[in-house]
Amino acid sequence: MELMNREDIRRWAENHAVAAARELREMNRNPPSSDEAFQAALALLVYDEASNGSPFERNDSVSDRADQAMWDSWTTLRARWNRAR
């Protein structure tokens, strides 16, 4: 596994902060109309689906782990309940 360079991460974070500040200034200076904002949101949804597939069919490892943990807990609880009866 390759380690991350701290300076690269610091530079990325600084660039991200500068970009976020500029985006905020631009949005305050020239806010989109409600129709433009809605069209932009739809375009982002189309882009996401084109890049990652349908949001209803893609695998989500975080949700999968949470579901597995829930079922593991249920199995443990159920086993204890059956023994107590």
pLDDT at 72: 94
For residue 59, the enclosing domain spans 6-84
In a domain, 1, yes or no: no
Q: Which residues contact 55 (CB under 8 A, 6 or more apart)?
A: 48, 49
The first and second tokens of residue 4, run together, are 């991350």
Q: Is the pLDDT of residue 84 over 80?
A: no
Domain tally for the chain? 1
pLDDT in tens, 32-58: 999 999 999 999 999 999 998 888 888
In a domain, 78, yes or no: yes
pLDDT in tens, 13-27: 999 999 999 999 998
The first and second tokens of residue 34, run together, are 């409600």
- Selection from 63, 36, 35 nearest residue 55 by Cα: 63
- How is 12-48 classified by DSSP, letter by letter? HHHHHHHHHHHHHHHHHHSPPPHHHHHHHHHHHHHHH
Q: What is the residue type of 66?
A: A
Q: What pTM value is reported for the model? A: 0.44
